[in-house]
Amino acid sequence: MVRRNEAKMNNRHQTKKRLSGLLWTLLLLTIFLAGLLIWTVLNIPRPLPSLSRETAEYLAMSGVNNPVTAVLLNFRGYDTMLEVMVFLLGAMTVWSITHAPFPARVANPSPVQATAVRLLTPLVCLIGGYLIWQGAYQTGGAFQGGAVLSAGVVLLLISDFIWVPRMHSLPLRLGMAVGPLLFVILAIWGVITEGSLLKLSPENAWAYLLFLEAGCGISIGLTLAAFFAGGRPLGDLREEPYKADQDDGEEG
C-alpha cells in the first residue's frame, strides 16, 4: 500500500516538470525579442510607406472594385498563380504518401447527422459561391470562398455517407486542376493579345477575373479538402472506382 502511494507521488512529481535553465534562457530571449518588436512597431515613421495611393489610382483599370482583390488577382496575379500551383503541389505530395483512410465498415449515419449534413451542404455551397462573387466589390474573393467550400467538403468527408468513398476521382482531379489551368490559359492569352504575361485589357478584365475567381475558388476548396482527406482517393483512374476489400486495414 505504501509502495503504491509512493509510485503515485513519483508519477505526479514527474508530470510537473520545472523549467530548466536552458528553457529560462530561451524564455528571456523571446521576451527580449518581443519587447524589441513592440518598440519597433511603436516607432514606425508616420506617414506609413504604402502603395495604397497608387492602388486607388489604378483601381478603375483593374476590373474590380475591391483593392484587395485587384492587387491579388490583377496587379500581383503572378504571385497568386504560383500560389495556386503550390496548393496543387502540396496536394500531390499528400496524395503520394498513402490512400485516404476511409473506415472499412461504414456505419450508417444517424438521422440527425444525415439531416444536418444534407441541410448544411447546399448552404455552404451558396455562401462559398457568394463570397467568391462578392470579392469583386467587397470583402471576399477566391481564397475566402474557397476556404468555406473546403469546409463544406470536409463536412461531407467526415459524415458516414456510403457514397463518399466510392465517388469517381476524375471530377475531383479536374476540379483541382481547373484553377492553375485557368491561370496558365489567362497568362498565355495575355501574351497573345497584349504581348505580356498575364496582361489583362482594362475593358475586359472584369470578365477574365470573374472566371478566374470562380475557377480558383473551386480548385482551392477541393485542394484544401484533399489535404484533409489525407491520401489519394480510393478509385485510381486506371482501376475500378471502389472495391469492398480495397482498404489498407488502417481503420478498424
Partner 1 sequence: MDAGLTYIYTCFDIVLSAALLWLAWQLLRSTDIFKAIIFFICFGLLMSIAWVRMHAPDVALAEAAIGAGLTGPLFLAALRRMELGSRKERRIDGKEERSEDE
Those residues with Cβ within 8 angstroms of residue 161's Cβ, 6 or more apart along the chain or in another chain: 109, 114, 117
Those residues with Cβ within 8 angstroms of residue 159's Cβ, 6 or more apart along the chain or in another chain: 109, 113, 114, 117
Distance of closest approach, residue 207 Cβ to partner 1, in angstroms: 22
Determine the 3-state secondary structure of 40 from DSSP: helix
Any idea of the CA torsion for 186, 192, 194, 197, to the nearest 10 degrees? 50
Residues 79 and 71: their CA atoms lie apart, in Å, by 10
Listed ranges 147-155, 165-173, 180-188, 211-219: which one lies at the site for partner 1 (CB under 8 A): 147-155
Is residue 68 a contact point for partner 1 (CB under 8 A)? Answer: yes
Is residue 50 a contact point for partner 1 (CB under 8 A)? Answer: no
Residues 81 and 183: their CA atoms lie apart, in Å, by 6
Is residue 101 a contact point for partner 1 (CB under 8 A)? Answer: yes
Is residue 102 a contact point for partner 1 (CB under 8 A)? Answer: no
- Residue of 140, 175, 215, 217 that binds partner 1 (CB under 8 A): 140
Is residue 251 a contact point for partner 1 (CB under 8 A)? Answer: yes
Distance of closest approach, residue 245 Cβ to partner 1, in angstroms: 19
Distance of closest approach, residue 217 Cβ to partner 1, in angstroms: 12
Is residue 106 a contact point for partner 1 (CB under 8 A)? Answer: no
In the complex with partner 1, the residue whose CB is nearer, 194 or 248, is 248
